[in-house]
A and B are shown apart, each in its own frame.
Chain A
């Protein structure tokens, strides 16, 4: 075997490996029947103790959905309008009928997100930051669930440079910093990308993507 073909095979294996970790394919039958064009993201429910997490998270979700090719309703405006209508409690919105939201906003589908975890745990000399989310899209025509996804992203700073006392101290300092002001947003972005953009489990291309309706092989 000449070196070039070795390189080619290596490249091909790498490429396959890049996709190999994809979990079991999601069943898109319901999604394909409705083929929604627009998504209304309603305020996020929260099982963490961080009362600000839902708003912070909300600021991260519109762009990846729109980039996937969907019309995404203005998230902050929707939140305010719902609140003006007496629906400031996200739990109340989530337990309501998606068909009613469809009438109010003219959306094809509603995206419900719940924060399962959004915390930083300080254990001895290192900190683990965890963001865990459930995503669900429901039809505003039938109320049926069209798609769902679960993401858990964990960040644990690796022991930096060398062992010994200096290394331990460096870890302790990193941990203390993360504890004082952990930055959850990179984790939230990673979770969104993992939920939306993975072939086989993510969202099929929306109507503003050239692949709309043509990506059945992957979704």
Chain B
């Protein structure tokens, strides 16, 4: 009986696996739910920024890839906060990790570099 069960179990798992090709390529942290929460309530921008920063730091500490778009999303929130230098750094990171983003990131780096710094002294 036990032997038969041992035989059946892997076959069931194998048959279930038939069409499932999904596996997690990246660790997204709470990116999806945070973006949803932000769209539901735009005052939750800080929480979204925090979750993006967490995705980056988790990937860094695991020596894993930061998922596509995450540096850029985080950089754009920084730009909206007037933190242009931080934004430029993040746009450069996106471009370095994901060459497909080059044209868009170059354009945004120009925008962020040209715009006046919010905290400039004069």
Contacts and interface: CB of A to CB of B under 8 A. Distances in A.
Interface of A: 3-4, 7-8, 10-12, 14-16, 18-19, 37-38, 52, 55-56, 58-60, 62-63, 66-67, 69-77, 80-81, 104-108, 185, 193, 197-199, 208-209
B19 A73 contact: no
Nearest to B21: A197
B26 A52 contact: no
Size band of the B side of the interface? 35 or more
Interface string B90-119: 000010001011111001100000000000
Contacts, number: 118
A74 B25 contact: no
Interface of B: 4, 7-8, 11-12, 14-16, 18-19, 21-22, 24-26, 28, 31-33, 35-36, 38-40, 67-70, 72-73, 75-76, 80, 94, 98, 100-104, 107-108
Contact of B73 (A55, A69, A71, A77): A77
A212 to B, nearest CB: 12
Contact of A106 (B15, B33, B38, B103): B103
Contact of A72 (B24, B36, B38, B68): B68
A198 B19 CA distance: 8
B15 A14 contact: yes
A15 B15 contact: yes
Given A7-B7, A106-B102, A106-B104, A76 B35 contact: yes
Given A14-B18, A63-B32, 20 more contacts: A12-B15, A63-B28, A66-B67, A66-B68, A66-B69, A71-B68, A72-B68, A73-B104, A74-B69, A74-B73, A74-B76, A76-B35, A76-B73, A77-B72, A77-B75, A106-B103, A107-B100, A108-B100, A197-B22, A198-B19
27 contacts: A4-B7, A10-B11, A11-B12, A14-B12, A15-B15, A15-B18, A19-B19, A37-B100, A52-B39, A52-B40, A56-B40, A59-B36, A60-B32, A60-B36, A66-B68, A67-B22, A72-B69, A73-B72, A74-B69, A74-B70, A75-B69, A76-B38, A185-B36, A198-B19, A199-B19, A208-B25, A209-B25
Contacts of B36: 56, 59-60, 185
